[in-house]
Chain A
């Protein structure tokens, strides 16, 4: 390791709290010049918080941060940019209707002597920066015509405009396809030779071991270890990320598993994902795990008809069905509890009653063509509120004023009313407190006991392991592994989530290190 002048980022005893959580605890972290430094940790470990503090989007509660030896206290986002820092966020901030060149040069357009934009030099400037990353994209093309993968490359090229000496990349490859990933990695290789320092947040083992020099593992807001990457076997890294075993709280029950309820064959969702095949049996809870951008939601939405699919057949109870819209899916007894419950699951300014009966209104609560029977509706909603223990002052409460867990129960109640028998839960416990989570787990187990088939998509390995019978691991749009939950553990699961291959063999080999 080099001397003091070679340390480009240094944090000393940095702490940061948000209401209810301590996101970072007395964290020391160092990055040396010219290295590619991986930052690893489970969701919520504090990676993004740390990066946001370094780029001054957040301000720390305690501690000091030095960039190139300068204390950044009092500096703003622009101030650290001037120190040579640039960050590429998970969200792309490109303007779709402008060209690639316009996006790259946005805010720094070259102008001629009367102040008019000099299109020719702008083109040249954009080409120069883009060629650092890729040679496949035309700078005159409009961003909206590019694939997501190409857009990510453009975003990377744009971050180079400020001539940064330190680049922070937050899961850059989550959106990249194979070809773009390759050009991205060779960009990193070249950048390293030019003494560019890179902090690399990723969930992918292969990449981390391919391009990174050192790795720092965070867990629960604390630094666990910083190590040379070639001295740390993959399985060890996974162990550091997970830490001790947490006692499980989910009410696991064995439910008899029946016939195949849903069968998905050769499904290619339009957005992301390829060749998805699996069966779901009645009474079974099937987990789908994978990191952000692995394509879990895309599969769920394609099965449900919420997004179009390129091809694939879906069978319900052995019969092939055609699902092109959510209406088709609902007719076949499918239910989707979407990831963004406030944006996609509920009508916020309407009552619990109207939200609950939304999917089954015509089928169950109307006489004649469309006349609503309000008495019947209220009765059913009250029954649901009692049986699901939904914490609302009454049937007429607007759902926007309920807590997250309660809102989620209202979404589930909606599907119970429409007699669904196949439930797809997409991150149902996201942003829900512990008590609320427990209730939702119980609800899911109850549904399984009643013979429903359940797909449970989650980022939290613990809950998947303790709730599901079987788990599918997705990586880069494909199912790369299917595991029985009784025969696996968190290390193995995370290993595959991060794109690892052949856990047993890797684990055996790694024993030689110690």
Chain B
């Protein structure tokens, strides 16, 4: 924060904070620092047991993985910022990946045409989600849960569950190639991160989306266009989810039906952590950190030789911690002074 801002204003009397409130504020900081401290300790332990954790090669692995899940996480974080939740992110990613692979491998379309089609389908599904929430007044959790199952069925139906194995080499380059020794997905992540950050922090859209998440009725009575902005969050989320799906297909060089399913849990964890890390502010940066934390946690566990069941265990536990921290910080904002 710019120091001169807070000092420039001389005030007759400062609002005195009751001790209880101040201590709650203190606890909030404890949560935020706690996340950093716990991960810091974890890194130290993993490094002592498996020095390979600190190698450049491993860093590459962590950052490529982070790049792939970052898009879906940004999307989910934006939906959560406005007070919603999108459960269909994984399946939107899967649908986009399958459509892209199908178009270019089986139908022979140009790579870029196929990718644009894949991205567009995500935007369209997101639009559908958004319309259900804003026009039909459905709870976002329920609406996107429906979308999720519809997409699962639809994908199995049209593909018969068969994977697309042969993809063009140019496409694979998107996932596995490097430029100036840096993997391509990281460039894409960097660009999307900057755009998402600017959108959320520097534009009136992002500002109002965050405000809606804080108090929807106050926003409505202040003339904020709730419907338009809520719709926008779902479209953006659908759009960004496809990036994760398509890049993962490119990296694996395979498009399979259940490819996106992991993104729901991962995106949700990263977005939840992202919302807590800076206490609901600057969620895009928070989410990027959240994604890095999540990927490095799983990476460390792999190095330590943990099986997939423990991966699930760790992700579940992290999600619970993130939700609890989130609930706690939300509660501290909702418990306003003097409220009945």
**Contact (A350, B9) CB under 8 Å given A358-B219, A362-B204, A400-B336:** no
| A404 and B338 within 8 A (CB) | yes
How many residues of chain B are within 8 Å of chain A by beta carbon? 41
User: Residue B337 at the A interface, CB < 8 A?
Assistant: yes
Distance A230 CA – B17 CA, assembled complex (angstroms): 53
Residues of B contacting A392 with CB < 8 Å?
Answer: 9, 11, 14-15
Q: Which residues of A contact B210 (CB under 8 A)?
A: 350
A359 touches B9 (CB 8 A): no
* Inter-chain contact B218/A346, CB cutoff 8 Å: yes
A372 and B207 contact, CB distance less than 8 A? yes
> Given the complex, which residues of B lie within 8 Å of A382, measured CB to CB?
5, 8-9
**A258 CB–B CB distance under 8 Å:** no
Nearest-Cβ distance from residue B67 to partner chain A, whole angstroms: 27
Q: Which residues on the B side are within 8 Å of A390 (C-beta)?
A: 11
Cβ–Cβ < 8 Å partners of B219 in chain A: 347, 358
Please give, as numbers and ranges, the residues of chain B lying within 8 Å of A273 by CB-CB distance.
none
Q: In the docked arrangement, what's the CA distance between A336 and B223, Å?
A: 11
CB neighbours of B220 from chain A (8 A): 306, 326
Check B338 against A389 for contact (C-beta < 8 Å). no
| A395 within 8 Å of B (CB atoms) | yes
A48–chain B nearest beta-carbon distance, Å:
13
The smallest C-beta distance from B204 to any residue of chain A, in angstroms, reads 4
User: When A370-B205, A386-B9 are in contact, do A326 and B221 touch as well, CB less than 8 Å?
Assistant: yes
Q: Give Cα distance in the complex from A372 to B333, angstroms.
A: 25
Known: A326-B223, A354-B207, A370-B203. A401 touches B217 (CB 8 A): no
Q: Considering the complex, which residues of chain B in the window 277-299 have a beta carbon less than 8 Å from any beta carbon of chain A?
A: 280
> B215 contacts which of A343, A385, A401 (Cβ < 8 Å)?
A343
Q: Is the CB of B17 within 8 A of A395?
A: no
Please count how many residues in chain A sit with their CB below 8 Å of the partner chain's CB atoms: 51
**Docked pose: A330 CA to B224 CA in angstroms:** 10
Contact status B221-A391, CB under 8 Å: no
B339 touches A342 (CB 8 A): yes
Given known A-B contacts A344-B218, A372-B202, A391 and B11 have beta carbons under 8 A apart: yes
Q: When chains A and B are docked, how far (Å) is the Cα of A358 from the Cα of B204?
A: 9
- In angstroms, Cα B279 to Cα A396, docked, is 14
Check A406/B5 contact, CB under 8 A, given A344-B221, A361-B208, A431-B338. Answer: no
B-contact 0/1 string along A350-365, CB 8 Å cutoff: 1000100011011001
B211 close to A (CB within 8 Å): yes
How far apart are the CA atoms of A410 and B204 in the complex, in Å?
A: 19
CB-based contact A359/B222 at 8 Å: yes
For the complex formed, measure the closest distance between the CB of B39 and the CB atoms of chain A, giving whole angstroms.
25
* Interface residue A349 (Cβ < 8 Å from any Cβ of B): yes
- For chain A residues 364-391, which have a beta carbon within 8 Å of chain B? 365-366, 370-372, 378, 382, 385-386, 389-391
Check B225–A327 contact: CB distance below 8 A.
yes
Query: Which residues of chain A have C-beta atoms less than 8 A from B338's C-beta?
Result: 404, 431
List, sorted by A's number, 26 A–B pairs whose CB atoms are closer than 8 Å. Answer: A347-B211, A347-B215, A350-B211, A350-B214, A354-B207, A358-B219, A359-B222, A366-B203, A371-B202, A385-B9, A386-B10, A389-B12, A391-B12, A391-B14, A391-B15, A393-B11, A394-B5, A394-B6, A395-B6, A395-B9, A396-B6, A400-B333, A400-B337, A401-B21, A418-B223, A431-B338
- With beta carbons under 8 angstroms apart, the residue of A342, A358, A372, A403 that contacts B222 is A358
Given A371-B203, A382-B8, A394-B9 in contact, is the A345-B218 Cβ separation under 8 Å?
Answer: yes
| Residue of B with least CB distance to A418 | B223
- Measured in the bound complex, the distance between the Cα atoms of B3 and A378 in whole Å is 13
Interface string of B316-340 (1 = CB under 8 A from A): 0000000000000000011011110
Q: How long is the Cα–Cα vector from A347 to B268 in the complex, in angstroms?
A: 25
Query: Could you tell me the distance in whole angstroms from the C-beta of A418 to the nearest C-beta in chain B?
Result: 8
Complex A-B, nearest 8 residue pairs according to Cβ-Cβ distance, in ascending order: A394-B6, A349-B333, A347-B214, A330-B223, A370-B204, A347-B215, A370-B203, A359-B222
Interface core residue of A372, A406, A418 (most chain B CB under 10 Å): A372
Whether, in the assembled complex, B13 has its beta carbon less than 8 Å from a beta carbon of chain A, the answer is: yes
Say whether B180 faces chain A, with CB atoms less than 8 Å apart: no
**Which residue of A has the minimal Cβ distance to B333?**
A349
Complex interface bits, A26-57 against B, C-beta within 8 A gives 1, otherwise 0: 00000000000000000000000000000000
Q: How near does chain B come to A241, taking the closest CB pair, in angstroms?
A: 25
Nearest-CB residue, chain A, relative to B14: A393
A414 within 8 A of B: yes
Determine if B107 is an interface residue (Cβ-Cβ < 8 Å): no
Q: Quick one: closest A residue to B15, CB to CB?
A: A402
**Set A343, A389, A394: member contacting B218, Cβ < 8 A:** A343
Task: Identify which of A344, A361, A386, A403 contacts B204 (C-beta below 8 A).
Answer: A361
Alpha-carbon separation in the docked complex, A327 to B224 (Å): 7
Residues of A within 8 A of B339 (CB): 342
Let me know if B1 is at the binding interface, CB within 8 A: yes
Residue among A345, A365, A431 with max Cβ neighbours from chain B (10 Å): A345
Cα(A392)–Cα(B9), bound, Å: 8
Query: In this complex, what residue of A is CB-closest to B203?
Result: A370
Asked if A338 is an interface residue, CB under 8 A from chain B, the answer is yes
Closest to B18 in A: A401
Q: Which residues of A contact B14 (CB under 8 A)?
A: 391-393
Interface residue? A348 (CB, 8 A): yes
Shortest C-beta distance, B205 to chain A (Å), equals 6
Determine whether the beta carbon of A372 is less than 8 Å from that of B203: yes
- A344-B11 Cα distance, complex, nearest whole Å: 26
Residue among B11, B208, B221 making CB contact with A345, cutoff 8 Å: B221
CB-CB < 8 A to B1: which residues of A?
396
Contact status A338-B221, CB under 8 Å: yes
Which residues of chain B come closer than 8 Å to A344, judged between CB atoms? 217-218, 221
B221 adjacent to A393 (CB under 8 Å): no
Q: Specify the chain A residue showing the minimal Cβ separation from B205.
A: A370
Q: Chain B nearest CB: distance from A111 CB in Å? A: 34
* Bound form: Cα–Cα A417–B338 in Å: 28
Of A358, A404, A406, the residue contacting B224 (CB under 8 A) is A358
Q: Which of B182-230 contact A (CB under 8 A)?
A: 202-205, 207-208, 210-211, 214-215, 217-225
Which residues of A sit under 8 angstroms from B204, Cβ to Cβ?
A: 361-362, 365-366, 370-372
- Cβ contact within 8 Å between B215 and A393: no
Residues B17 and A401 in contact, CB atoms below 8 Å apart = yes
Contacts of B205 on A, CB cut-off 8 Å?
Answer: 370
Which residues of B in the span 75-119 have a Cβ within 8 Å of any Cβ on A? Answer: none
CB distance from A341 to the nearest CB of B (A): 9
CA distance A115 to B287 in the complex (A): 53
Q: Report chain A residues within 8 Å CB of B280.
A: 349
Other contacts beyond A372-B202, A382-B8: 16, CB < 8 A: A344-B218, A347-B219, A358-B208, A371-B202, A372-B203, A372-B204, A385-B9, A389-B12, A392-B14, A393-B9, A394-B6, A395-B6, A396-B5, A396-B6, A401-B15, A414-B222
